[in-house]
Amino acid sequence: MSLRFALLGLLDVQPSSGYDLTQRFARGIGSYAWSAKHSQIYPELRKLTDEGLIEITETGARGRKTYAPTPAGREELRGWLLGKPNAGGARNEFVLRLFLLSSLEPEEAVAVLDGTLRFAREQEALLEQEFAAAVAEAGVPSGSSPGLAARYGIHSYRALAEWADWARAAIAGDPTFGHRR
């Protein structure tokens, strides 16, 4: 369900073609918030068009269509943004691995957490770098929607790194870890 709102929101920010949206999912939003493939985006654009939530504003070379939200589409997006967030069904592979971490030997579990710590620090640094570049190149203010999302990501990765460091110490200090079978 959220793909429709991701598309409505991206089109509200900037009318785009399906190709442009695919590129934005491949680089920006798809890396941090919501991923979608070409094979998912185009059918959803058709549905949104059929429902009157977006319209084709321009047809260019080789049939390239530019889409923009209609007033009904903007209202649908607005209603979703103002509504209560839906956590949906929990499907988080990372958290599932944490629930099952005690199936490993302590050294193996610590190695998993070391990898998590490295990943979190790398992603935090990458996001900091990308955000700094966006500010420098496009003048993206830190209080803008992309700025707020970037800061959320940066803080999330920082918190993950802190948690992984804490979890390593917790496992190291628990002589019964992994021996609960």
- What is the pLDDT tens value at each position of the chain, 181 positions in all? 589 999 999 899 889 999 999 988 877 766 667 778 889 999 999 999 999 999 999 998 888 999 999 999 999 999 999 988 776 666 677 888 888 888 888 889 999 999 999 999 999 998 888 888 777 776 767 677 777 888 888 999 999 999 999 999 999 888 888 765 5
Give 69's strand partners: 54
**Which CATH architecture group holds 2-82?**
Orthogonal Bundle (1.10)
CA 118 – CA 164 distance, rounded (Å): 9
Instruction: Locate 136 and state its tokens.
Output: 């420098």
CA-to-CA distance for 62 and 39, rounded, in angstroms? Answer: 19
- pLDDT at 100 (0 to 100): 84
Q: In what order do the strands lie in the sheet with 65-69?
A: 16-17, 65-69, 54-59
Predicted local confidence at residue 122, as pLDDT: 95
Q: How far apart are CA 151 and CA 40, in angstroms?
A: 28
Measured at the CA of 122, the angle between CA 120 and CA 128, to 5 degrees, comes to: 100
CA distance 82 to 16: 24
Q: Can you give the pTM of this predicted structure?
A: 0.70
Contact (CB, 8 A) for 44 and 116: no
Strand partners, 66: 17, 58
* Strand-pair partners of 54: 69
pLDDT of residue 116: 93
- Cα-based angle 123, 9, 47 (whole degrees, multiple of 5): 115
